[in-house]
Copies of this chain bind each other. A is one copy, B any other.
Amino acid sequence: MGSAIAELRELGAELADLGGIGAVLHWDQQTMMPPRGSAVRAERMATLERISHERLTSERTGEMIRAARTELADGPVDSIDAGVVAELERQYEKDRRVPVELAVEIARAASEGFELWQAAREASDFTLFAPALERNLRLTRDYIACFEARDDPYDIVLDDFAPGMRTAAVEPVFAALKAELSPLIRELAGRELDDSCLSVHYPVEGQRRLVGQVLALMGFEDAGWRLDDSTHPFSTSLGVGDVRLTTRYSAEYFPMSLYGGMHECGHGLYDAGIAPELQRTPLASIRSMVMHESQSRLWENIVGRSRAFVGAITPLVVGEAGGALDGVGPDRLFRAVNAIRTQPIRVEADEATYPLHVILRFELERELLSGALAVADLPAVWNQRMLDYLGVEVTSDADGVLQDVHWSALLFGYFPTYALGSLVAAQLWDAARLELPDIDAQLARAELTPLREWLRENVHRHGSRYSDTELLERVVGGGIDVRPFVGYLTDKLGDVY
């Protein structure tokens, strides 16, 4: 191993440590920190960001990257060393264009914005959050301006969550999705389907036991995982053997905690499955939220809402409900958890309406960033489009424009990855079924290990060694494709309705 490579691996390890430390601070802030701690926490986050930024973007890093390229010239192109250098170079080329003051201000604004969003959401009053959103948009425009112009300014932020993805590639995919899903939703939303069993009073303690048991089937182990409560469910990996999930509970709607938990556990399995030899390198952190979201949505929806697995867990679901679900059988539960629900909350959306929630946000954040839409007008426009796309009347900011954390934390460019993740999930599912012919029977026995191991082998263990394009080529033999998702969904909804 050459000396420049060795030095870059050291730098990579340090940056991985700083990233992991940031993840602890973030997790703590969202789950444990008393509210008055937020101002100081924002300073801590900003300092951490400044140190990471300085270390990554130093002149020395540039020199080492150039020297490492020479050292690597005669080696295999897909060695871990080559991957580490390439990933550091990608990050270096991005971050060095961003002045440290801006990077620090963004980190601070994200931490402060989160607190303001929480308060605004609590009060269901968008005007409390509007100034933070204005600032976050300004900072994001400043961030975009650091880079050479591309086809679309949005490409810059999209690339942060889906490296290599272009806006011009997302638009036709979303147009096709909208064209396929809108008539499907129109047709089915009017049909009678009794999903009243989802709205029974289900004691939260019973839900905790239910979620615990289902996550254990997926691979959650107390020795290396935690599950906590938070307003906005999330998953984070603080390192090998320390995966943290959160979910939230409503006594009147138990699918929120169950499927939220499975969703986050899907993320957690990805992080937990990264190969040991990639640990403390930049490849041990998943850069593509498209791939990450494919995992969470695969577990939540394709597994979690399948006829086979719902059948397997019906006794658990009924058993922990304190009598409220007595007499409910697998078929009724399966159909209820797959019902088309035209309602305002993205994270509670069914699989068919979900992409439209995402497309709405994709449109709105592009308009906000370009200035075509003013912050003050956002709630009205949001509500109007919810009516247009889904026929949903939004009655409060909390259930409308304030429902998601992302814009508070400057995560513009993140939303599209959710819908793209659904598409990739269906593609991976098709590939897995070919190699696991017994999968339906396994799900019907709540036997999730074969699928998890297949995903680990084909997806998880690689960490960020491959781009989405490369990884998809390896596993499904092509790029992102709308058809498997639409086919999967049409089949299932045909079974449900």
Contact = CB atoms under 8 A, between A and B. Distances in A.
A241 B21 contact: no
A406 B17 CA distance: 25
Given A37-B224, A41-B242, A241-B40, A21 B25 contact: yes
Interface in A1-31: 13-14, 17-18, 20-21, 24-25, 28
Interface stretch (A42-50, A93-101, A124-132): A42-50
Interface string A466-482: 00000000000000000
Nearest to A33: B242
Interface residues of A, number: 37
A44 B48 CA distance: 13
Given A41-B239, A43-B280, 15 more contacts: A14-B47, A17-B47, A21-B21, A21-B48, A24-B44, A32-B32, A34-B222, A34-B226, A35-B223, A36-B241, A36-B242, A37-B224, A38-B241, A40-B240, A44-B239
A238 B280 contact: no
A431 interface: no
Identify the 6 closest CB pairs spanning chains A and B, nearest first. A36-B241, A37-B242, A40-B239, A17-B47, A36-B224, A37-B241
A23 to B, nearest CB: 10
A387 interface: no
Contacts of A34: 222-226, 241-243
Interface of A is mostly: helix
Contacts of A242: 33-34, 36-37, 40-41
A381 interface: no
B21 A239 contact: no
A123 interface: no
A39 interface: yes
A51 interface: yes
A438 to B, nearest CB: 31
Contacts of A48: 17, 21
Contacts of A37: 224, 238-242
A327 to B, nearest CB: 35
Contacts of A24: 24-25, 28, 44
Given A17-B47, A20-B44, A25-B21, A36 B226 contact: no
Contacts of A44: 17, 20-21, 24, 239
A222 B48 CA distance: 27
Contacts of A241: 34-40
Interface in A201-251: 222-226, 238-243
Nearest to A243: B34
21 contacts: A13-B47, A17-B43, A17-B44, A17-B48, A20-B40, A21-B47, A24-B24, A24-B28, A24-B44, A32-B32, A34-B222, A34-B225, A34-B243, A36-B242, A37-B242, A39-B240, A40-B239, A40-B279, A43-B239, A43-B280, A51-B51
